[in-house]
């Protein structure tokens, strides 16, 4: 499937697969429309800081600050133009990627939930950067492992890809390697307090933590006027529980072992996982966040293309 691990790509980054990019490349304009749809009016109000990076001109409109008039253009053309800067014209997105131990789960020869999230992060960052939108990356488990500011340059994208690849390096002693427990709600509250400028927050996680706490943290983001997209990622086996013989499970965050006869727990497990998903589906609807549930057997580029197309129709 398209989400599988292959050799080095022509783009030079493991998590940017040419085949996946070819399928999603034509979705760039759709993605632009969808993202802007999430942030109606974002360009008009929150980006008033006028950064030092000049981007373009636009004609003066009543109410514009005269301090930003381009007097040289006025002298040359006898028309009023406002100097636009990168932060005024582009939107800002922050991808929050869960790297806790439970995200390392995988079945058969598939990819882990973390790798799936890393591919999704890469392709979203690529699309946004192509559109000159600023994207930042925060990777966390029990603590923040990587925290990159939102920028839109090709150099920034390259560094973001290198950071993602470093997290999946085979050396288990690397300080940034994911795998500890998680306190999702606490981390999200801290980030919501820190992000002052209105942004699109993209959270990629299996959400294995206290649901009520996480939903309160999402509400915190909304209270700060951020927009939210939540990608709820599972392994297919976590949803279907296909096991037939007695099996030993290990908690990837605590190391605890538990031997289970699937026949005795399957129905109750499925009921609880459906309830778990529904809590977040309903909670996101209540808080005004976009909720997308997927599993690692669904090619991430197909899932994203399908979702973007659906949102564009809406």
Domain boundaries, the chain: 18-40+90-313, 54-88
Confidence band of 281 (pLDDT split at 50, 70, 90):
very high
Domain with residues 18-40+90-313, CATH architecture: 3-Layer(aba) Sandwich (3.40)
Mean pLDDT check: name the lowest of 47-61, 87-101, 173-187: 47-61
Residue 259 tokens read as: 């031997």
Distances (CA, A) of 18 to 6, 25, 119, 126, 304: 11, 10, 12, 12, 15
Mean pLDDT check: name the lowest of 52-61, 145-154, 215-224, 297-306: 52-61
- Check whether 188 has a pLDDT greater than 70: yes
Calculate the average pLDDT of the chain: 77
Q: Residue 4: what pLDDT?
A: 38
Q: Residue 250: what pLDDT?
A: 64
Residue 59 main-chain phi, psi, to 5 deg: -65, 145
Residue 241 main-chain phi, psi, to 5 deg: 50, 65
Span 244-266, average pLDDT: 72
More confident residue, 131 or 179: 131
């Amino acid at each position: 499937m398209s989400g599988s691990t292959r050799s080095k790509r022509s783009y030079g980054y493991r998590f940017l697969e040419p085949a996946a990019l070819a399928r999603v490349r034509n979705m760039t304009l759709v993605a632009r429309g969808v993202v802007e749809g999430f942030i109606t009016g974002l360009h008009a109000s929150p980006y008033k800081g006028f950064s030092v990076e000049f981007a373009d001109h636009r004609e003066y409109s009543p109410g514009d600050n005269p301090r930003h008039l381009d007097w040289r253009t006025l002298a040359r053309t006898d028309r009023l133009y406002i100097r636009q800067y990168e932060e005024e014209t582009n939107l800002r997105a922050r991808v929050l990627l869960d790297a806790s131990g439970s995200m390392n789960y995988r079945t058969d020869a598939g990819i882990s939930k973390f790798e799936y999230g890393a591919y999704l992060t890469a392709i979203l960052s690529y699309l946004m950067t192509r559109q000159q939108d600023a994207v930042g990356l925060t990777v966390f488990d029990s603590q923040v492992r990587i925290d990159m500011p939102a920028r839109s340059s090709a150099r920034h994208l390259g560094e973001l890809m290198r950071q993602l690849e470093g997290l999946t390096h085979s050396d288990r002693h690397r300080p940034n390697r994911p795998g500890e427990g998680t306190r999702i709600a606490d981390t999200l509250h801290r980030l919501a307090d820190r992000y002052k400028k209105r942004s699109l927050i993209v959270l990629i996680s299996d959400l294995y933590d206290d649901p009520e706490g996480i939903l309160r943290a999402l509400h915190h983001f909304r209270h700060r006027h951020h927009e939210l997209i939540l990608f709820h990622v599972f392994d297919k086996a976590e949803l279907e529980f296909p096991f037939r013989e007695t099996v030993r499970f290990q908690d990837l965050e605590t190391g605890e072992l538990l031997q289970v006869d699937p026949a005795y727990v399957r129905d109750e497990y499925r009921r609880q996982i459906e309830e778990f998903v529904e809590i977040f589906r309903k909670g996101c609807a209540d808080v005004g966040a976009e909720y997308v549930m997927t599993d690692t057997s669904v090619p991430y580029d197909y899932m994203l293309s399908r979702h973007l197309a659906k949102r564009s129709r809406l």
